[in-house]
Structure 1
Amino acid sequence: MIKSGYLLVFLLLFTLICSGQKQNADYSIKIKKTRYAIEIDGVGEDQAWTETDVAKDFFMVLPMDKGKATQRSEIRMTYDDENIYLLATFFNDSLGPNYVESLRRDFSFGKNDNFLLFLDPFNNQTTGFTFGANAAGAQWDGTMYSGSAVDLSWDSKWISVVKRDEEKWVFEMALPFKSIRYEKGVKEWGINFSRLDLKTSEKSSWTPIGRQFPTSSLALAGTLVWDSPPPSPEFNMSLIPYVLGEIRSQPDGSQTTDGKIGGDIKLSLTSSLNLDLTVNPDFSQVEVDRQVTNLDRFELFFPERRQFFLENADLFANFGYSTIRPFFSRRIGLGVPIDAGARVSGNINEDWRLGLMDIQTSSLEDEGRPAQNFGVLSLQRKVFSRSNIGLIFVNKQSFNYPTEQDSLRTLFPEYNRNLGMEYNLASSDNLWSGKAFLLKSFAPDDENKGISQAANLSYNNRQWSWGLQEEVISTGYSAEVGFVPREDYIRLSGYAGYLFFPDKGPLVSHGPRLDLSHFFNNNFKNTDYQNTFGYSLNYRNRSELRFQWINEYVELLAPFDPTRTGKPDLAAGEKNHWNTFRLVYNSKPQALFTYSFDSSFGGYYEQGTRINFSNELGYRFQPYVSLSSALSYNHITLPAPWNTTQFWLIGSKADITFSNTLFWATLFQYNEQTRNFNLNSRLQWRYQPASDLFLVFTQNERLAPFTGSTWSLTLKLTYWFNP
């Protein structure tokens, strides 16, 4: 068995070999303080813009990273005591319209002509901020973590305007210094600019970036050089109160009305460290989860969408792997109100990052649920050029039990704790990445004390990509505030892929990929595996086609209903082996009508068969209306007593954007597997930057043989106030 210690040695060795100077550090743009006033109008004729440096001569990233971009772009930047200003001009050197999906904020990157700014104020090549807009003026903003990942759930106060004509489109923005975090006295920031032009299928970047990497890769960013250090941030406090009224129906047909007030406070402890406080938080405006067909034996993951948990979320939520998380914030406030919370997060300096969170939930006497406190401490230290070492401690504490029954302490243990360390490898050239971590759980009983450890190493250049990974979760490891759907196993996995690049023709690349994933018990007996061989075809118009052959083996570790519809269970210990053929296609995003499908045919449990077809359709009347639908059909044939089972999952969404400040989205979903109907309709008016009025209607109905129907109508007002 591969031991984590050996992989850790390899990770450290590769770190030493691959550490070096920032690859594109010589690409720099100077930013000078302006004496003139700037009007944000998308015209760019202010005197200030005549005295700036110009970033131009972008490099092509896609479809092929060889040479300069064919579409000209020019970027200018300046600043004053309050704001950073940016003017971007994008020339239409090829005839054709601009493509946009809608005016909705935080648009889908690949479906819009757009410009994105990536800022790395600490120049640590790991964390930062992103801002931008599509060609119709819809804004984009988010925080950056793990070197290139973007969290678009984060919102901040800034303004921008886009103007278009036949020759070009122009983006102009003002970003307040108080809306971002940066280190006092630093004169060099990491920076890059990215443009996507769908009519030519061209993605370009100010600095040269390999096509296998996203343009958000901070390791490949250039340098923003200030003429003097940015203004030292003064004490900054933001108050974000809310008030709401709600009408809600109950399953018995009765109705209740409710009013609620609460809000958040943001305090700048330093220029780069923030304190966030929340009292009586409400998340009624958050979009509902997308329903899915669930034929998995283990719990499914649904992402966090609540604003309070999102800024610097990587400090808390990215420890471990996607299936071994010691902390998962959606465990907090699950069916119980949150009374209050506090979070300190950000950069202590160029090398150290800190995350500290504490959340208090209410007790529910009628359910026997005690009050609970959730605490998380995360500390991260940068090592070498881009790698880091992290520490995390997670504590869930129950107290004020309604009664002293032993059954309550079994159902809601007095505490559950996790302590862990991890090492993250990120090479200076962005080719190598990896991770190694060790977690230990603590609980009142010995059954929930155990360890989890894992490590991986991967390599990715233009043609080759490969990786190796091992995981071990011991008997008794528990993470009640985490996401660990599977317990007590050893897993070895790996992948390898290669791409060919034709000199001409409709294909820009094509190639094979092999994925292997094998699970073992603690005696190293193989309990299940999935081996996948695939071949992908990537077209110059950004459409793609993929074929896969999947060889799968499952030995059931617990009784399982293979239809998950309430039919009899298969017995634990049963062994099943089957093959599946899968075909996936995504159409080009430039078309007003877009479509994709994912279909598979193969074996299933008990020598049965499963046919699955999933499809997504979209049509847009750009930029105001975007319509989409999604459906999934499963046809499962098994021997008695399951026989033939078939069910649909149907969803449709109408997204109407009257302007870039007024949005109306309606999502309808019907899941035949769970017999659940759901409707969510949300009207949002952003009447001032980061201040909103929401009107939200939600209906949930369980169909026969289940019963129960509820609906709610909520009016919520938030206001971002800077004293």
Structure 2
Amino acid sequence: MTGLLLFLLSTAEAQETRNLQASYQLSIQSTTLPITIDGELDESVWETAEVATDFWMSFPVDDRRVAKEIQTEVRMTYDENNIYVAAKCYGGGPYIIQSLKRDNMEFWNGDAFAVVFDPVNEKTSGVYFGTNPASVQTDALVSGQTGRRGNTSGSSGINNAWDNKWYCKSKSYTDHWTVEMAIPFKTLRYGEKDRWGINFVRSDTRTNSYHTWSPVPVQFRGVDLGYTGALKWDQAPAIAKGNVAVIPYALASTFKDHELELPGENEVRVGADAKIAVTSSLNLDLTINPDFSQVEVDEQVTNLTTVNIRFPEKRLFFLENNDVFEDFGIPPMRPFFSRRIGLDEDGNTIPILMGARLSGNLNKDLRIGAMTMQTKDQPELPGENYSSLTFQQRIFGRSVVKGFFHNRQQFHDGEFVADDYNRVTALEFDYRSIDGKWRTFAGYGKSFTNDVEGDNYFYNVASGYDGRHISAYSNLAGVGNNYIADMGFIPRSYHYDAVRDTSYRIGFHHWFTRLAYTFYPAKHPKVNTHEIGFRNILDMTKGVQLINNQFELNYSIRWQNTSTLMVMLTNQKSHLFYPFAFTEIPLPIDDYSYTFGGFEFQSDQRSMLSYLLGVEAGEFYNGKRTQFSSTLKLRIQPWGNFGLTFVQNELRLPEPFGHESLTLLGPKVELNFSTDLSWTTFIQYNTQDDNFNINSRFQWRFQPLSEIFLVYTDNYAVELWGPKNRALVLKMNYWLNV
């Protein structure tokens, strides 16, 4: 009976979601009149365009319309080249502008407006374009799995590193601010359909609330593709003609390696990327001699686990439709991880000669991806060819059947090395209810490597529910002893032996469970939510021997002024299969059980001066650990952001293992002279990695997506202070539509 009730409830919610596009429709008519993107909204076309208004609250409540004094009005039109969006956002200033930097991570902690497109209207892939009262741009790819609001585990389904060409301008008035956008059809991937999915999202810092035109439940992000309204075209937009962009670059650099005492290297290099629209919804990316020297440096962390840390992909070439390649497996266990291509384990560059990448929709239900990349053949490091084929076939609304085949093949002296390869393939079924609340998925795959036979499987099965109050999720995954994914990231497979300085591969089963209950106090004006939850991470060998068992209880409170507090208590049981070193003397093979607790407080993020404080303390293997972490941010609106991150870990283990003090210090200065001109300097002092890094980047965007970079990087050893290496790069790239 309970199962039947849950089924009927899910069916009713799904029907309600389907009806959104019947209830929320915005008609868009073409125009031949010129529109100047100046934020004025004084063109006559805006007087006759249909208006989308009467926005809903989405957070901290979702049961009412937005008050009249902070409502939003949106109008749209188009011509043969662009889609135009005009918005009037009511509510007086002063407005919060976190930064003038494009795609800054604090964008949604300020006043903002965005339009969300699902051009194929399949609820599995889309894009949004956002701006604020200072005309700062942000854009992102959105998958069909954006998940629960505030969920920081796994993938958010939003890729902010994606950049493309579009235009906007804002203007502020006494009681409102306005937006005008021009989004080229060439920027979008769409089918020949007269109805798109669409929504509009507004952030208002005066009330610390988020609003959407088509209502989105409080537990989901405003950009969730499952809750879009309908954009009704007067006729299906024509396929953009001549949709080809070439992005050549030229750079001059100098590099000096002090550790190897090599002479300095001076280099002049050129290369190019190209973006070709094969169809309006299928894109081909090409690259020759690519360079990623301007990409932001990774933020270092202190790693007190026995597994590797996964850093995000930031290289533009790998980002468009990246979910069609990467969205397999269970985070952080991914059979495909694009940072395996052109980067070594330490993040150092491996030269890429060329590459091609085809991705997008063949039709409204079928997405594909095909990629091949070739790294340079070097005396000390043979070349590698990385190739991938993937597909995602949509069924049952938002559900998909998907599969992949990845291949790494060594390439040396002008030919493929027949016996040096790794191939991985799998099929997955991912069921997601139309309303996004229910999800169940399962997959199975194998790897193939020369001279490695049997026990080469990968499997995963999971189920989850995201309701207004209850959030529950559990997955079970595992790999065999001989499952190898050279193009993937499977951190638990390898166990490091600190005595022999080598790693051993061990198959395992991984079971993750999370359960949380969220309270929304209706009569407390200063508190948005309380949440209590627990999670369990259990890893065992194939023989059901314990590797790791972590059990955590947590409680969090979120205030209306954006402050948050989290308190947690954790018990962990771990087995070391090989000696592992956190200090100079490795811990022995043994079973360990330890308990620790802590808290983390984030202050009001609207304030000019904000901070984050955290403390963890308790047992650590056979000793004690204390961690203090803090982040201090000073915002001088809108041109300056000054930050300082400090993490201090004190490990006190019994003799003879001793004491270890680990310091991570990271001051960061971001100066924005305009929305197109910035200078960012990031310094990282990390005693665990014995590295002091300076990364300073000057960026001038002289035309949309055409930029000049000047990047200085300097690395020093911490323990025996001295230079490791330094580099200076001057680079220019130019976006050319042909």
Where does 1:253-402 land on structure 2 (aligned, <5 Å)?
254-334=263-343, 335-365=349-379, 367=380, 369-400=381-412
1:482 CA displacement: 0.5
Quick one: which of 450, 455, 463 aligns to 2:456? 450
Instruction: Determine the structure 1 residue equivalent to 2:475.
Output: 469
* Structure 1 counterpart SS, 2:482: coil
Please give the alpha-carbon distance, in whole angstroms, between the structure 2 residues aligned to 1:448 and 1:399.
26
Per-residue deviation, residues 584-621 of structure 1 (Å, max 9, x unmatched): 11111111111112211110112x11000111110111
Q: In angstroms, what is the RMSD of aligned CA positions?
A: 2.0
DSSP-derived class of the 1:316 partner: helix
- Paired residue for 1:69? 66
Task: Tell me if structure 2 keeps the 8 A contact 1:23–1:429.
Answer: no
**Quick one: which amino acid aligns to residue 29 of structure 2?**
K
Return the letter of the residue paired with 2:585.
P
Q: Is the 8 A contact 2:455 2:480 kept in 1?
A: no
The answer for the alignment partner of 1:7 in structure 2 is none
Query: 2:715 maps to what in 1?
Result: 700
> How far does residue 467 in structure 1 lie from its aligned partner after superposition?
1.4
Q: Which amino acid in the other structure matches residue 470 of structure 2?
A: W
Secondary structure (helix, strand or coil) at the match of 1:269 reads strand
1:446 is paired with a residue of what secondary structure? Answer: coil
Task: Indicate if the aligned counterparts of 1:23 and 1:220 stay in contact, CA closer than 8 A.
Answer: no
| Counterpart code for 2:117 | L
Matched, 1:503 2:501: no
1:551 is aligned to 571
Report matched runs for 1:499-538 at 5 Å: 499-505=518-524, 506-538=526-558
In structure 2, the CA distance between the partners of 1:350 and 1:259, relative to structure 1 (3 Å rule), is same
AA in 2 matched with 1:80? D
Aligned residue number for residue 499 of structure 2: none
Q: What is the match of residue 428 of structure 1? A: 434
Look up the match of 2:500.
Answer: none
- 2-side partners of 1:13 and 1:643: how far apart? 60
Residues 1:30 and 2:42 are matched in the alignment: no
Judge conservation of contact 1:147–1:219 (CA < 8 Å) in 2.
Answer: no
Q: State the Cα distance separating 1:634 from its structure 2 match.
A: 0.4
Asked if the contact 1:492–1:518 (Cα under 8 Å) also holds between the matched residues in 2, the reply is yes
Quick one: which amino acid aligns to residue 341 of structure 2? Answer: I
Gapped regions of structure 1 (runs ≥ 5): 1-10
| SS of the residue 1:414 aligns to | strand
Please give the secondary structure, in 1, of the residue aligned with 2:492.
coil
Given candidates 229, 241, 249, the residue that maps to 1:234 is: 241
Offset at 1:448? 7.8
Q: 1:176 aligns with which of 173, 179, 184?
A: 184
State the one-letter code of the partner of 1:88. Answer: A
Matched, 1:618 2:595: no
Distance 1:138 1:699 in 2: 30
Tell me whether 1:199 sits opposite 2:206 in the alignment.
yes
| Structure 1 residues 265 and 13: alpha-carbon distance in aligned structure 2, compared to 1, 3 A threshold | farther
| Identical-pair percentage | 36
Q: Which moved more, 1:22-31 or 1:677-686?
A: 22-31
SS in 1 for 2:313: coil
**Is 1:98 matched with 2:98?**
no
**Per the alignment, do residues 208 and 41 of structure 1 end up closer, same or farther by CA in structure 2, a change over 3 Å counting?**
same
Q: Does the alignment pair 1:249 with 2:256?
A: yes
Query: Alpha-carbon deviations, 1:491-549, whole Å to 9, x = none?
Result: 22212111222222322221310111212221223332001111111111111111111
Query: C-alpha displacement at 1:298, in angstroms?
Result: 0.9
Partner of 2:497: none
1:441 touches 1:449 (CA, 8 Å); kept in 2? no
Deviations 1:178-212 (A, max 9, x none): 1111002x000000000001121111110111110
Do the aligned residues in 2 keep the contact of 1:397 with 1:416 (CA within 8 Å)? yes
Hey, what does 1:113 align to over in structure 2? 111
2:512 matched to which residue of 1? 493
Give the TM-score normalised by the residue count of structure 1: 0.93
Distance between the aligned counterparts of 1:435 and 1:664, measured in 2? 44
Letter of the 2:246 counterpart: L
Q: Which amino acid aligns with 1:143?
A: L
Rounded to whole Å, the distance in 2 between the matches of 1:191 and 1:125 is 10
**In 2, Cα distance between the equivalents of 1:379 and 1:501?**
40
Cα distance change, pair 447–560 in 1 and its aligned pair in 2 (3 A): farther
Q: Does structure 2 retain, via aligned residues, the 8 Å contact 1:359–1:373?
A: yes
The 8 Å contact of residues 99 and 107 in structure 2, kept in 1 or not, is answered as no
Does structure 1 conserve the Cα–Cα contact (< 8 Å) formed by 2:715 and 2:726?
yes
Question: How far, CA to CA, are the matches of 2:532 and 2:83 in structure 1?
Answer: 46
Bigger shift: residues 356-365 or 634-643: 634-643
Secondary structure of 1:570 counterpart: coil
Choose which of 37, 51, 54 in structure 2 pairs with 1:57: 54
User: Secondary structure of the residue that 1:211 maps to in structure 2?
Assistant: coil
Distance 1:15 1:206, change over 3 A: closer
The answer on 1:659 being equivalent to 2:674 is yes
Alpha-carbon distance in structure 1 between the residues aligned to 2:664 and 2:515: 33
Structure 2 gaps, min length 5: 1-5, 147-156, 344-348, 494-506
Matched, 1:670 2:685: yes
Query: Which of 129, 132, 149 is residue 131 of structure 1 equivalent to?
Result: 129
Equivalenced residue count is: 697
Larger relative contact order (CA 8 Å, sep ≥ 6): 1
TM-score scaled to structure 2, two decimals?
A: 0.92
Change beyond 3 A, Cα 1:556–1:423: same
What is aligned with 1:5?
none
Counterpart residue identity of residue 78, structure 2: Y
Rounded Cα–Cα distance in structure 2 between residues aligned with 1:700 and 1:328: 26
- Cα shift readout 1:222-271 (whole Å, capped 9, x = no counterpart): 01000111122223211100001011122127322100000111111111
